[in-house]
A = this chain, B = another copy of it.
Amino acid sequence: MADTDPTETHRSIGRELKKGSLELVVLSRLVRGEAYGYEIVSELSARTQGVFDITDSTLYPVLYRLERAGFVSIRWETQNRGVPRKYYQITPKGLTELAALRAEWSRYVGAIQQLLTSGD
């Protein structure tokens, strides 16, 4: 077993940081207007200069969760040219959730900031 790799200290920090904030980010995007999955993936990476870099196999389960909870609604667009697209829109319930997530995020970031700058 290759269990004693000295270089295997912290495989990927950012991976775990995304947990819990993905819903917030996606819902926040949908406030600006409807969008489809593939669009969101490439947009997030571009807008954050690659910091928030996710794959489609990460996003689709997120969208499915949001849909199942009633935070987004779906509209299929089978256009003449190209693969059919599944457009997602934020619902009133989703807007409420977004406000809660924003508050939670602020509280959490504030708490960590307080811990990091504890010059006590």
Contact = CB atoms under 8 A, between A and B. Distances in A.
Copies per complex?
2
Interface residues of A, number: 42
A39 to B, nearest CB: 15
A16 B62 CA distance: 14
A101 B13 contact: yes
Q: Is the interface of A mostly helix, strand, loop or mixed?
A: helix
A15 interface: yes
A28 B104 CA distance: 22
Given A25-B112, A48-B111, A51-B108, 15 more contacts: A9-B97, A10-B69, A10-B97, A14-B108, A28-B116, A28-B118, A29-B115, A32-B118, A49-B111, A51-B111, A52-B111, A52-B112, A52-B115, A102-B116, A105-B116
**Which 10 pairs across A and B sit closest by C-beta, in order of nearness?**
A16-B20, A48-B111, A51-B111, A17-B20, A16-B19, A19-B19, A9-B69, A52-B111, A13-B104, A17-B108
